[in-house]
Structure 1
Amino acid sequence: MSAASTLSRRVVGRADAAAAASRAGEHLDLVEAPFTLPRSRLMVFRDGERLRVHTSEYERSLEECVVLDALEVRDVAGAALPVTRVLPHAVELGDAAVTLTFAGPHALGIGVAGGGEAVVSWTARAGDEREELRIGGRHAASVVLTVGDDRGVEFARSDAHAEHLASTEATWLDWFARCPVVRADLQGMAAFCWWVLGANIVELPQLGDARAVVPSKIGYVGLWQWDAYFIAVGLRHGDPELAREQLDLALRFPSADGQLPDVVHELGVLATSDDLPPADRENLRRAGSAVADPTAPVPLTKPPLAAWALAKVLEVEDAPEWARERLAVIRRSQDWWFAHSDLDGDGLPEYGHPYSSGLDDSPVFDGPLPTTTPDLAAYLVLQDTELARLAERYGADAAGDPVAHRARAARTLDLLLGMWNPGAGRFEGRAAGERVATDAIVGFMPLLTGRLPEPVLDALLGALADPDRYALPWSVPTVSAADPDFSATRMWRGPVWVNTNRLIVAGLRASGRTDLADDLAERTVALVVHGGGPHEYFDPLTGRKAPTATTAFGWSAALFIDLAVELSAETRIPTHHSRQTRKSA
């Protein structure tokens, strides 16, 4: 077991869980990070003096899921009690004269401190009449607001507020007791990222109360296959069981021919274009995409990184029987790519839909489909290589013949190298057979093979070090700054994503460039700290959250944890934590 894996099983323990919770609370502003509870679908945000309560639902916006449009607390003289402190288990108002907490996963409790009085008022929808209730004094000290499946709210007076506070605090302390130990300068953000992972746990009752750590309760309420892999890689450091559960869900619903679905959600799965929600189809139509309404269903999946994620999770806590069962599914999925997604029959699978790439809005997919890309080829090489290694560890009956996997990896690598354009100094894809000249981050994923010729490796390292292309103040942009399609803020067309950085770090290590891997890992965790949290994506020029990015994002949080644990196991001292002006990778 590596040093990083050894450290990853060091968690804070009950004695320090409260300190970790307090550090996380410093980031809970109720704007970018709501007040919520693991397994609950309720979220509380702040809007001026009022609080707003929403549910979290698949393919529904916050505005579609309003529970209480306005929740306010005033003293008996009518003065509003402002939010003065937020902890994971409680929102304090008026210097803790009143606290808001959870009364179970479906209810909120609001109570006054001993001997106090307050008036709680709420409006269910904008324009509705306001309801109010006095608590304390001769009345019960708290009110419990219970939310039904229809988002309707029932209220009841209660004297159990202390018990609700204690129960909610215990839930969070139990979660923070699993928070991995990291370097002192990374502890505060690690605690917040660990909060994000706990906050994003939802139950999927239709799947036997399965715990899904969703990308975000704000707009991404489902288990996307790719996200599940990255989230599991981070969770493994504190909760290997929950990490395995994410892989279980991602691998639970293969098709008859082995394809894994894009999304597992509370209403079913999304596995073909026929399953797309109306909003997704409309977005594709606006973009002029031919796959908005295809004449035949197009399979929807995500890049083949299952074996990589499985191997990472098993580094921390071995589970042989569990691994063998999952390997059988991954092996069939890998075979599916070659049997059913090699759409032009040249031996190299393609993406039949941009959603299957995970980089939906990349300019790589501005042309016709199917699209052959260097990242998919690299992932397939990596997956066959991992399957071969895992077959030798757990048996060929589950993972397949290791010799056959390595042979296929070698063939795929040869085809991948055929995508290298020496004149341009980059890997280039093909769209329906035509060259794709976009200079995008997909061209760095071949580093993951660890087997690139030296001239190719040198050219890629040169690109990472080029201030006109990828060595921006905050790296690595998802499209080169020299590319005409570059945008610093538009999804997958320039912003920095933590998951692609994490894969490049892995690729640099696989390619023997540990120094550069360490440097990019340091710059990535510094970006999250500088940006104020694990956002969905970041502006590479400012290091701040891009305007349309989601906050409290699952894989950004998980991979910050993963990188922080890895860096904390090493002895090197970081030389920079803020503005990234380096001119080398």
Structure 2
Amino acid sequence: MMDILKVPFSRFGSFIVISPLHGKDNDNLYIRNIRNGDNDLGETFRLDVLSDGQIVPYKPVLKPTILRLEAAEGFADISITEAKVLQIRSEGVGIRLTGITGAYDYAIPANGECWEVNHSGQEIHYMLTPIKGKLVMDAPFQEQRCLKIVADFIPDPQTLEMDCAIEEYFTDYKKRSYLEFLKAQELVQNEFQTWLDHSLECGSYLKNGRELAAYITWSCVVEPEGKLTRPAMYMSKNWMTNIWSWDHCFNALALAENSPELAWEQFVTFFDHQAESGMLPDFINNRYALWNFTKPPIHGWTLKQLMENREFVTKEKLQEVYEPLIKWTDWWLQYRDDDHDGIPQYNHGNDSGWDNSTIFHRGTPIESPDLSAFLILQMEVLAEIAREVGKKEDAEKWARNSKDLLARMIVHFWKNDRFTAVRSGDHSVIHSESLVLFVPIILGNRLPEPIRKSLVEGLVENGFITEFGLATEKPTSSFFQEDGYWRGPIWAPTTLLIYKGLVESGETELAKVIAKKFCDMANKSGMAENFQALTGEGLRDPAFTWTSSVFLILANALLE
């Protein structure tokens, strides 16, 4: 089930990744540093297996805490034993690290048999330490850099065994020893097993999917560093190496039951970076936040579900998030309502999360009912928090505003027994057969019964529900594309939103049908970024955390 060509090798807390270079070199494995966001794959060394000084072919075998490179002459086991430490143990073969170097990169002897590699391009140092066997370096220096950096870890000639450590550091290396490989690897295995044990339970027939989802979510967490003030679950360690400001909500929901502290860290992390205006950045990583876009305000919807665990989501935690959530709500109402009609707008598809949805095919700004639905719920949650913290007038205001926006939303968007999207300003209707127009089902019983009924009938009768789940564009639409991003493929977040909305509307059987289709598909095809709606094939990034989290949530719900 775990294929290194699709699922990168890493561990909880680490910025070290081993994978191919997708789109650049799929035939070799590289040690990567994923600190530079998704514009840089971060390759630092190519990995090769050596026998008698020659590179030999190998087969990679990936398990959650160990990557084995199997060659005819022997094998090398790789484990990321600490967040900044990669250890390798081999029998019968050696390992070559070929530096992916540029200007100013160099290597020098350090601490006896060790070598320091200064990888200025990635702004990181590596200490290469032979523990058993020897390290042979080829790093000729010329002017301001080494022309090449090649590190060969050679087995002991008597035992044919080799052990080594590669450690990241920023400023100064402190000489140290490393645990024996098997002991260190055992500790990592125990750590992962604990994570797996705390992952949401699933039916036995989904065992493979659960283990894969648990590995992806565990291995995609990075430790606090730079801009990241809390442990953060990246979307992937392939190339989507950021956190986006709605993805984190789905990951928080999957952690809420068994790892509530980490769930809360995921939920509030974007509020650490909130602008004075109330806007949240589009994404963050350890280096920077992007402000060109944002993402939809699903945070009230998320918080409402987190609040089901009131032993953990205490009054103090609600007070922590109350003012940031107000600012986030007010930002949409103040800065995203250019025609002042009381209906907020999206200025770009990226702001909706549905980047290229057909509601945007005539341009922007667009007023879409999903945005109003999110804000209706968010204001309702603000009213609930205000009541709890003793702000009676605020509670009444937010409850009133929520009901008023619901009434405006229905008048504004409900046309001919369906929700529509319209251009901001002239309010001309956008022809679209996108699933996004069904997202208001999240309002459940707040919607009049005829509207709820029409939404459910529209999902079923218009063919959105394929053999594998919910297509994001009606399959018979002229805009439908098999790999069209938000114009057809099945996505995890939209599946969960619709599922929760159906449950809220009393349509539990239909919700379970959709959940089972999605879980069966992901169990077979893996935790891809999205899926071909008519075949169930995984598309784009093949190892995504919000897919893993939604799989765990829905698979767990199927046990009920």
Instruction: State the TM bucket, normalised to the shorter chain.
Output: 0.7 to 0.9
Give the drift of 1:382: 1.7
Deviation digits for residues 109-129 of structure 1, max 9, x if unmatched? 2113xxx44222232239957
Deviation digits for residues 317-366 of structure 1, max 9, x if unmatched? 33221122112211221122222222110011111232211111212122
Name the count of aligned residue pairs: 502
Q: Check if 1:28 corresponds to 2:2.
A: yes
The 3-state SS of whatever aligns with 1:359 is: coil
8 Å CA contact 2:227, 2:285 repeated in 1: no
- Kindly tell me: are residues 417 and 208 of structure 1, through their superposed partners in 2, closer, same or farther at Cα, counting changes over 3 Å? closer
Q: Check if 1:143 corresponds to 2:191.
A: no
8 Å CA contact 1:143, 1:156 repeated in 2: no
8 Å CA contact 2:200, 2:553 repeated in 1: no
8 Å CA contact 1:67, 1:147 repeated in 2: no
Give the drift of 1:487: 1.0
8 Å CA contact 2:243, 2:285 repeated in 1: yes
- Kindly tell me: are residues 508 and 120 of structure 1, through their superposed partners in 2, closer, same or farther at Cα, counting changes over 3 Å? same
* Cα distance in 2 for residues equivalent to 1:228 and 1:149: 28
Give the aligned residue type for 2:354.
Answer: L
Give the drift of 1:36: 0.6
- Kindly tell me: are residues 58 and 344 of structure 1, through their superposed partners in 2, closer, same or farther at Cα, counting changes over 3 Å? farther
Give the drift of 1:371: 1.0
Which one of the candidate residues 513, 517, 529 is aligned to 1:523? 517
Which residue pairs with 1:123 in the alignment?
98
Q: Check if 1:437 corresponds to 2:424.
A: no
Which residue pairs with 2:132 in the alignment?
none
Which one of the candidate residues 374, 377, 383 is aligned to 2:372? 377
Deviation digits for residues 515-554 of structure 1, max 9, x if unmatched? 21122122221221132x12111100110112xx112111
Which residue pairs with 2:63 in the alignment?
87
Give the drift of 1:312: 1.8
Which residue pairs with 1:184 in the alignment?
204
Q: How does 1:274-353 map to 2 (within 5 A)?
A: 300-316=293-309, 317-353=312-348
* Cα distance in 2 for residues equivalent to 1:48 and 1:482: 35
* Cα distance in 2 for residues equivalent to 1:400 and 1:264: 35
Greater per-residue strand proportion: 2
8 Å CA contact 1:117, 1:137 repeated in 2: no
8 Å CA contact 1:49, 1:82 repeated in 2: no
Which residue pairs with 1:446 in the alignment?
440
Which residue pairs with 1:459 in the alignment?
454
Runs of 4+ in structure 1 displaced over 6 angstroms?
155-159
The two structures have a TM-score, normalised by structure 1, of 0.79
* Cα distance in 2 for residues equivalent to 1:208 and 1:460: 40
- Kindly tell me: are residues 422 and 311 of structure 1, through their superposed partners in 2, closer, same or farther at Cα, counting changes over 3 Å? closer
* Cα distance in 2 for residues equivalent to 1:104 and 1:486: 46
Which residue pairs with 2:133 in the alignment?
none
8 Å CA contact 2:417, 2:454 repeated in 1: no
Which one of the candidate residues 284, 300, 307 is aligned to 1:264? 284
Which residue pairs with 1:280 in the alignment?
none
Which residue pairs with 2:107 in the alignment?
none
* Cα distance in 1 for residues equivalent to 2:244 and 2:26: 34
The 3-state SS of whatever aligns with 2:487 is: coil
* Cα distance in 2 for residues equivalent to 1:490 and 1:553: 18
- Kindly tell me: are residues 405 and 49 of structure 1, through their superposed partners in 2, closer, same or farther at Cα, counting changes over 3 Å? closer
**Uncovered stretches (5+) of structure 2, i.e. residues with no partner:** 102-146
- Kindly tell me: are residues 93 and 263 of structure 1, through their superposed partners in 2, closer, same or farther at Cα, counting changes over 3 Å? closer
The 3-state SS of whatever aligns with 2:82 is: coil
8 Å CA contact 1:237, 1:562 repeated in 2: no
Which residue pairs with 2:110 in the alignment?
none
Which residue pairs with 1:470 in the alignment?
464
Give the drift of 1:269: 2.4
Which residue pairs with 1:415 in the alignment?
408
- Kindly tell me: are residues 267 and 396 of structure 1, through their superposed partners in 2, closer, same or farther at Cα, counting changes over 3 Å? farther
* Cα distance in 2 for residues equivalent to 1:170 and 1:360: 40
8 Å CA contact 1:487, 1:494 repeated in 2: yes
* Cα distance in 1 for residues equivalent to 2:43 and 2:16: 10
Which residue pairs with 2:554 in the alignment?
563
Deviation digits for residues 14-58 of structure 1, max 9, x if unmatched? xxxxxxxxxxxxx32111101111111121125788432222134
The two structures have a TM-score, normalised by structure 2, of 0.82
8 Å CA contact 2:253, 2:305 repeated in 1: yes
Give the aligned residue type for 1:442.
Answer: V
Give the aligned residue type for 2:410.
Answer: L
* Cα distance in 2 for residues equivalent to 1:197 and 1:129: 34
Which one of the candidate residues 89, 93, 102 is aligned to 1:111? 89
Deviation digits for residues 218-264 of structure 1, max 9, x if unmatched? 22222211011111011113311111001221212222232222223
* Cα distance in 1 for residues equivalent to 2:192 and 2:472: 35
- Kindly tell me: are residues 428 and 491 of structure 1, through their superposed partners in 2, closer, same or farther at Cα, counting changes over 3 Å? same
Give the drift of 1:143: 1.9
Question: Percent of aligned pairs with the same residue?
Answer: 24
* Cα distance in 1 for residues equivalent to 2:524 and 2:418: 32
Give the aligned residue type for 1:464.
Answer: L
* Cα distance in 2 for residues equivalent to 1:117 and 1:201: 34
- Kindly tell me: are residues 424 and 267 of structure 1, through their superposed partners in 2, closer, same or farther at Cα, counting changes over 3 Å? same
Give the aligned residue type for 1:235.
Answer: L
* Cα distance in 2 for residues equivalent to 1:526 and 1:303: 28
Deviation digits for residues 284-337 of structure 1, max 9, x if unmatched? xxxxxxxxxxxxxxxx32211112212222323332211221122112211222
* Cα distance in 1 for residues equivalent to 2:26 and 2:467: 34
Which residue pairs with 1:37 in the alignment?
11
8 Å CA contact 2:465, 2:514 repeated in 1: no
Which residue pairs with 2:541 in the alignment?
550
Higher mean C-alpha displacement, 79-88 vs 233-242: 79-88
* Cα distance in 1 for residues equivalent to 2:323 and 2:178: 52
Give the drift of 1:59: 3.3
Which residue pairs with 2:127 in the alignment?
none
Give the drift of 1:131: 3.8
Higher mean C-alpha displacement, 182-191 vs 210-219: 182-191
* Cα distance in 2 for residues equivalent to 1:173 and 1:55: 25
- Kindly tell me: are residues 170 and 410 of structure 1, through their superposed partners in 2, closer, same or farther at Cα, counting changes over 3 Å? same
The 3-state SS of whatever aligns with 1:94 is: strand
* Cα distance in 2 for residues equivalent to 1:303 and 1:377: 10
Give the aligned residue type for 1:166.
Answer: E
